Structures are given as C-alpha cells and as structure tokens.
Chains A and B, each alone.
Chain A
Amino acid sequence: MARTHKRLDGLIEIWAHLRREPLGIVGLLIVVLVIGSALLADALILVDPVKLSIRDKFMPPSLAYPLGTDYLGRDIYSRVIAGSRIAMTAALVAVSISAGIGLVLGIASGIGPRWLDYSMLLLFDTLRSFPVVMFALAVVTLIGPSLTTIILIIIVISIPLFGRAVRTQTLTLKNSEFIQSEIAMGASLPRLMGVHILPNVLGPIMILAAMEIPVVIAMEAGLSFLGFGVRPPTPSWGNILNDGFKYIRNSPWPLIFGGAPIILTTLGFTFLGESLRDVLDPRLRKES
C-alpha cells in the first residue's frame, strides 16, 4: 500500500516536471496516439487493409480513401493503422527482452570476476561490430524473413547497448562509498544487488529503453522496406514504403503516407524520451 503510494507520488512529480517541457508534451501526445491506434486498430480501420480493389489503384487522398490507395487499390489509411500494431509489437517485445538480457549480463559483468567481465565486453564488442543492416540481412538469408526474425535480430544487436550501459553503471556503484559501507556491514551479495544496485541501475535503463524504441521501429520498417521483414501482404509501414517505392512514378501517396507515421513515431518517442531523461536525471534536476 505504502509502496504504491510512493510510486504514485513519483509519477505525479515526473508529470509536474514534464508539463514544463513543450516538446515532451508533443512527444507524449504522439506516443499516446500511436499506442492508441495500435490498441484500437480493429475499430479504427475503414476497410480490410489487405482487401484489393484494383479499380481504385493509385488514388490520391479522398473522402473514401483518406490517404489514397496503393498499386493494388488497398486503403493506405487502414494499412497505416494496422501497421502501427506491428511496429509497436516489434518495438515493445524487442526492447523489453533485450533490456532484460542486457540488465542481467551487465550486472554480472560489473560485479562478477574479471574474466567474466572481459569475456562479456568481448561479446558486446563483437556483436556491435557487425554493421547492423549487413548482420540483419545475413541472418534473414539464413532463417527467412518474418516478424519473429526481425525481433530476434533487434534483440541480439541491442543487448550490447544495454549490457554496456548497465555494466558501467554497476561498476560506478560498486566503487561508491555506500556500497563499500554496505559491504562493511556484512550485506550479502543478493542483498547488495537487489536493494542497492538494481534500483539505482533501473532508472537509467528505463530511459535508455525508451530511447531505443524509435530505433527499433525504424529498423523494423527498414527491413520490411527492403523486403526482408514482415511478409506482404501484411500491412507493415515498411511494406507500404516498399510498394510505394516500386511505383514511385505512378503515385507519391503511398510513399508519403508510409513514411510519415515512421517519422512521426520516432520523433514522438525520441522527444518524450529526451524530456523524460532531463526530468529524471538527478544531476539536471538538482539545478533547476
């Protein structure tokens, strides 16, 4: 009971700070909009996003088709709405899994013996040293394109990001006087981790995770755009772009309206993440 109260107080405080960041509010609105459309996609779409009506192909925006139609006459608006669900699923699943794994590996690396730390670092560096898209393409060749593949790839390449951040944070904490003082009192390792290290690592990781969401959305869309992601005709934003790109000379609308949600969403999450970081970063908060 008392604990939930504390959480609530924290949230209220964050909101009080966030309110003064116009960009953060814009970001929040966009994020709410995107998440909302992902949740309510079934209710929001006008027509079945995979339904063809060849007669109406390459239509500009109109009342019937608010964002126009593509080369098969599919309603772009409905496809964009349906695509938001795929984007959000990919982003949330991938980010939370890789942040979780990164958290475990990072803490182990920071607190464990030196050999473990070195091998973790080597693992992180190796995973990071594949150029992301090349790596993704190689993997797609092997296991075939699908949403699962994309999520898997994103998880693997995001682990080093989280792992390294957690490791640095853990190391700083480990050498801090308060941890030393806990050790001097005889605190056990699980206690050190659970009560003192984890809560202090969690905050920065949450922010990092929020900042990683737009990256993941872009990656999913990018791979789908190349034709290596979500299989057509499933309406992913990347697929809309792929179709639009092929028929760029016939109609600009699929390209314009396929790209817009990606840009809007990434901007929204980034602005929100930035503002949250400014609000939560204790160093910054002390001053203002």
Chain B
Amino acid sequence: MSRLLEIEDLSVRYRMLPSWRAAMQSQDPYLNAVCGVSFAIEEGQSFALVGESGSGKSTLARAIMGIEKAHSGSIRFQGHELRGLSKRGYKSFRRNMSMMFQDPAGSLSPRLTVKRLITEPFLIHQIRNTNIEDEAIKLLQMVGLGSEFLNRYPHQLSGGQARRVGVARALALSPKLLVADEPTAGLDVSVQGEVLNLLLELQQQQNISVLIITHNLNVVLHFADRMAIMYLGRFIEQGAAQEIFLRPRHPYTQALLSSSPEPDPDSKGSRIELKGEVSSNMDRPAGCEFHPRCPIAQSLCTSTAPRESSADHGHSFSCHYPVAIFNEN
C-alpha cells in the first residue's frame, strides 16, 4: 500500500485582532484552529476525524482541500507538496480529491438542475470526451437515484436525496480522496445509514480513500480504518479505529466513547461526565490543555503539556496519566 495523503505538523490559524490591538491587550492576534497535526492516509483506506464543535476538524479538512490557507507544516498528496501552491497549481490535484460539505442542500448551487450539478466537475476540468448526459445518468444510478431527478432543483430534494446528489458530484471524476464533512449531519437515524452504506460501498468498489469528519464515534468504528480525536486543534489520540474503541488511552476519548450509551435502561451510570466546557481557542489553558475538564488531572497536568506517547499498532496519545487498560480479553 502506498500513502496517498501525508500531513505533517500542519497548523492553520486565523487573524482575530489587528496586531496593534493585540499588542495593546497583550493577546495573541491569532486563533490557532489547527496546531501541529500529523497523520497519513493510505490508498483505499479511510480515516476519521472525531471531535466536538470548535475542535478544528472542519478547518483541517478545508486546509487539505486548499480552501483554507495552512500556516505551516506540509500536505503531501500522491507525493506532491500542496501547501503553498497557487490556485492554478492546486487545480490539477482537485480532480483527484473532492469534498462533501455539511449542509446537504446548502452545498448545491440553488439555480442549477441536478444534471448540471453533478456534471459540473466535467465542465470545470474541461473534460469533453464524454457524453455528459450519459455520465449524469450513470452517476445518478451509482448513488441510487433514478433519471427522473435530472431536471430537479436542489430545493425539490429531500435531505437524503440532496446528500446522494452530493456524493454523485463528489465522485464524478473518480477521485482518489474524498473528504466528507459530517456526511450524516441533519439526517434522521434511519436515513443516516443509507448514506453511510452508499459511501462504504463506493469506497470499496472504487478503492477511494476517505477522510470522514464526524462527532459520532460509533459511526467511525464501522466506517474507518484509523481515527484521530481532536481537542482544541490538536490530535490527543490517534490510532486504528478498533484499537481506540477497545483500548482508549486518553480520558477525553474515554468520555466521548461513553457519551453515546447503548439504549439500555439497566446500564445506568456508565457515562463519564466531564467538568465545564471546552476551553476557548483564544485562551488556552497552561499545561495539558484538557486538564480543566479532566476527571483525573494531577498537578503535573496543570503545568506541563504531555508529550505524545505511542502504544502498539501505531496508536499514540498525549496524556501524562493514560487510562489503564483493563478488561483485556
């Protein structure tokens, strides 16, 4: 297997204050949305980014797509460095990477028909040697929609249908990498599965790599080979999805895992409650950034940031007092 995407020490930041004002109030003028993140996706594999709102997962995805400017680090796609490329330079790679945005209907241009929407990629990349009409029908078929959808407009689609059109559009040029930002956001549980199944099926058929962003850990286990948990723009734990599910080492991961409990009336009290709320990106806590919320924080955590430790199978985490591994069977 070869590495399709390699991210190294990537940071993204936004300017929040003009520098004179920042100096006056002795504040950092930047909001560090993503700080020093490294990971890789193999060809045909899927990788999940998990985190709560504001953790920087969408920003990271957009930086990879070149919509957001990365401040430092490296983004290598098929061995080519993407960071710092011009718009034109990026364009030649966009054929091979595509992104699905959160809002199913909102990410479709409102005045275009489904046919236009799903064949846009061909027009943008000036691919003329195909019959657009056939291609459109084929794509619709691929995502399980009939050709009667060709002339509909986005506002005439249900959430699930709009999502399917989004998938068709993203996969129109058979990309190597698909970035899916919360592909099930706003969908009912009974429809959620359909979209995920579709993505799974197409991924296996076409050997696409998928970077999926979600806040629902349970979706991940089924979907992803590897995953990373983000907190305040950093990866606090990363590894094989199965591994993290069975043996979470970071207390935050553990809490997240416990937060979507089985619908079982007798398993009461299994949820781990964290104190307080996610700290502000602009005002990061000293030491381990998770310590104000951590149920097991010690004095060391308030002063020193933990370094990344590794466990087996490429599993790594940043915690001074990782969760002990019990129920090993």
Contacts and interface: CB of A to CB of B under 8 A. Distances in A.
A182 B101 CA distance: 11
B94 A185 contact: yes
6 contacts: A180-B101, A184-B98, A185-B94, A185-B120, A185-B121, A187-B124
Helix, strand, loop or mixed for chain B's interface?
loop
A181 B107 contact: yes
Nearest to B92: A186
A186 B124 contact: yes
A176 B106 contact: yes
A178 B110 contact: yes
B106 A186 contact: no
Interface string A182-202: 111111100100011001100
Interface in B160-213: 169
A182 B65 CA distance: 12
A188 B95 CA distance: 14
Interface of A: 176-188, 191, 195-196, 199-200, 282, 286
A155 to B, nearest CB: 29
B99 interface: yes
Contacts of A186: 90-91, 94-95, 124-125
Interface in B99-116: 99-103, 106-112
Given A177-B101, A177-B106, A182 B125 contact: no
B102 A177 contact: yes
A187 B169 CA distance: 13
A180 B62 CA distance: 9
A184 B95 CA distance: 10
B324 interface: no
A176 B110 CA distance: 11
A180 B124 contact: no
Given A177-B101, A177-B102, A180-B101, A200 B110 contact: yes
Interface of B: 62, 65-67, 90-91, 94-95, 98-103, 106-112, 120-121, 124-125, 155, 169
Contacts of A179: 109
A181 B102 contact: no
Contacts of B103: 177
B101 A191 contact: no
B94 A177 contact: no
Nearest to B90: A186
A178 B124 contact: no
A188 B88 CA distance: 9
Contacts of B155: 282, 286
Contacts of A183: 67
Contacts of A187: 120, 124
Contact of B67 (A180, A188, A200): A180
Contacts of B112: 195
Contacts of A195: 109, 112
A184 B124 contact: no
A288 B107 CA distance: 25
B110 to A, nearest CB: 7
A6 B95 CA distance: 32
A184 B110 contact: no
A196 B112 CA distance: 9
A200 B107 contact: no
A180 B67 CA distance: 8
Nearest to B93: A186
Nearest to B68: A180
Nearest to B121: A185
Contact of A178 (B62, B66, B109, B121): B109
Nearest to B113: A6
B106 A178 contact: yes
Contact of A180 (B94, B107, B110, B111): B107
A85 to B, nearest CB: 37
B94 A184 contact: yes
Contacts of A199: 111
A193 to B, nearest CB: 13
Nearest to A203: B111
A184 B111 contact: no
Given A177-B107, A286-B155, 19 more contacts: A176-B106, A177-B106, A178-B101, A178-B106, A178-B107, A178-B110, A180-B62, A180-B67, A181-B99, A181-B101, A181-B107, A182-B124, A185-B94, A185-B120, A185-B121, A185-B124, A186-B90, A196-B109, A200-B111
Contacts of A176: 106
